[in-house]
Structure 1
Amino acid sequence: MNLMKTTGLATAAAAFTLLAGCSTNGQVAGETMEQATSPLTCTNKAECDAWWARAQVWVTNHSEYKLQTVTDSIIQTTGPSGGKRALAYQITKTPSNEGTATIGFAAHCDNMLGCEPNPWKAGADFKQFVRGGPSQMGTRAGATASGNALPPVSPTPSSRPIPPALPVQPMPPTLESQPGQSGQNQTPE
């Protein structure tokens, strides 16, 4: 290898190291990491239903991407795309045989410099909000999150029977494939 190639490779490696360093400058506090990684497990059907509704509210209020799929076991946005720093979300609900469920949180972006907001902070905020606390992050519209807080969820079971939930159908990946939704003439010419 000649000196020009070696120098070029060393310069490229140094530039990459500098760029990679930019994504880690915002160190995440241990408390935030602990909140983000702690299990989110509801203890009964009423609590699980309320938490799942709150999960959808949080994702709707905090995602720059549109909801792609919403069922009783997954909430997923479109994205990430085009080198954006915005987070795309995938929330899952996994029921157990004991009547509890664990709600999982995943967030990622498509930018080598890092995501905005930080996925660890988003995960901690998501879990706090789902458990009944206020969101500490601003919404995608820039409004304060306290206006989005739902009342706290009580884990005590209700003595009244709970009506069955209506089935939720997944959203189509694009509306263009749905008749009458694309604005184009759908009749043969």
Structure 2
Amino acid sequence: MKRILAILLCATAAACASRGQVNPDVMQIATAPLTCANKAECDLWWQRAEDWVRSHSKYEVQTVTDTLIQTSGPGGGRRLLAYEITKSANSDGTATIGFAAHCDSSLGCKPNPWSAGAAFKQYVRSGVDAPIPGDTSTGSGGDTAGVSGAAVAEPASSAH
């Protein structure tokens, strides 16, 4: 009986260990810098950022300015992602767009914050809303990125 219990515990631990892992391709897309080169490109990318948030957020868009796009939420232990997108001018005339996504559930977020960040960045750059190639993430409790909690976070001044 002890042997069976030990086998079950090992199997459970192995299953839990693989949950929440992020595909390296998704991670690479999600962490790549999102820096626009000039005002025209930055304006286009900022509009795409707002469009993406409006079409992907289950929460209402609460704030839209020249430097911030923010949804309401998260709340009530929900697994849905809330978004905060920032734009910060760089000294060389470019601007960096930062992405943050988080939920309020100990069970993890749906969708996975890394996948959402990768999808966001692909859309902002290309205007094409396509699934992330190789994304096999589960959205489990291990979905964290950038900062503590279930979040993908990039300050606008970072190199992400």
Cα distance in 2 for residues equivalent to 1:135 and 1:98: 29
Given the two structures, how large is their TM-score scaled by the length of structure 2?
Answer: 0.70
Cα distance in 1 for residues equivalent to 2:23 and 2:67: 30
> Based on CA coordinates, which of the two structures has the bigger radius of gyration?
1
RMSD, matched Cα: 1.9
Structure 1: stretches of 5+ with no match in the other structure: 1-13, 138-189
Who is 2:30 aligned against? 36
Structure 2: stretches of 5+ with no match in the other structure: 1-8, 132-160
Cα distance in 1 for residues equivalent to 2:108 and 2:100: 15
Amino acid at match of 2:107: L
Task: After the TM superposition, list the runs of 4 or more consecutive aligned residues in structure 1 that deviate by more than 3 angstroms.
Answer: none
Q: Which of residues 51, 58, 61 in structure 2 aligns to 1:57?
A: 51
Larger % of strand: which? 2
Matches within 5 A, 1:121-160: 121-137=115-131
Q: Which of residues 39, 43, 47 in structure 2 aligns to 1:45?
A: 39
Tell me how far 1:128 sits from its aligned partner.
Answer: 0.2
User: Kindly, what percent of the aligned residue pairs are identical?
Assistant: 61
Deviation string, structure 1 residues 7-26 (Cα, Å, up to 9, x no partner): xxxxxxx9xx98xx49x624
Given the two structures, how large is their TM-score scaled by the length of structure 1?
Answer: 0.59
Who is 2:84 aligned against? 90
Equivalent pairs, count:
119
Cα distance in 1 for residues equivalent to 2:41 and 2:103: 30
Q: Which has the higher contact order (CA 8 A, sep 6+)?
A: 2
Cα distance in 2 for residues equivalent to 1:136 and 1:62: 12
Residue 79 in 1 paired to residue 73 in 2? yes
Cα distance in 1 for residues equivalent to 2:27 and 2:34: 14
